[in-house]
Structure 1
C-alpha cells in the first residue's frame, strides 16, 4: 500500500468537503509520507515510507549516505 507509514501505520482518511452552499462531496486527507533510507537495528539499510511525525520523534534512524 502506497500511502501508509511503515512505522505507526498512519493512513489516509476520508471526510466531507463542504462548500459555502453546504453541498458536500467526499475528499481525502493524506499523511505526509516520505521515502527515506533507514538503518535497521541489525545494521541493514532499507528504504521505507515513513510519516514526518515518526521522523521528527526519532522513531527511525536515518542512514548516512
Structure 2
C-alpha cells in the first residue's frame, strides 16, 4: 500500500541526512498517516488513510 493521504494526496518527500562533517546522504520524509474509519453518506463505513493534518481539518469542519 502506498504511503499517500487519500484526502490531500500528500506523499513522501526526499531530502538529505547531513552529518556533522557535512556529508550528505539521501533520506525520505514520510507523511504522518493515520487509518481512520469514516461513515459515508449512504450509511456505510470505510477505512481510509489520512494524514494527521487533514484529520484535524476534517474534525474542524464536521
Q: So what's the TM-score if we normalise by structure 1?
A: 0.81
Q: Partner of 1:25 in structure 2?
A: 25
* Structure 2 unaligned residues grouped into runs of 5+: none
What RMSD over aligned residues (CA atoms) do the two structures have, in Å? 1.3
Shift of the alpha carbon at 1:2?
Answer: 2.3
Shift of the alpha carbon at 1:44?
Answer: 2.0
Q: So what's the TM-score if we normalise by structure 2?
A: 0.84
Size of the aligned set, in residue pairs, is 59
Q: Partner of 1:55 in structure 2?
A: 55
Cα deviations across residues 5-30 of structure 1 (Å, max 9, x unaligned)?
00000000100111010110001101
Greater helix share, structure number:
2
Cα deviations across residues 20-48 of structure 1 (Å, max 9, x unaligned)?
10110001101110111111233221110
Give the secondary-structure state (helix, strand or coil) at the position aligned to 2:50. strand
* Structure 1 unaligned residues grouped into runs of 5+: 60-65
CA–CA distance in 2 between the matches of 1:34 and 1:27? 22
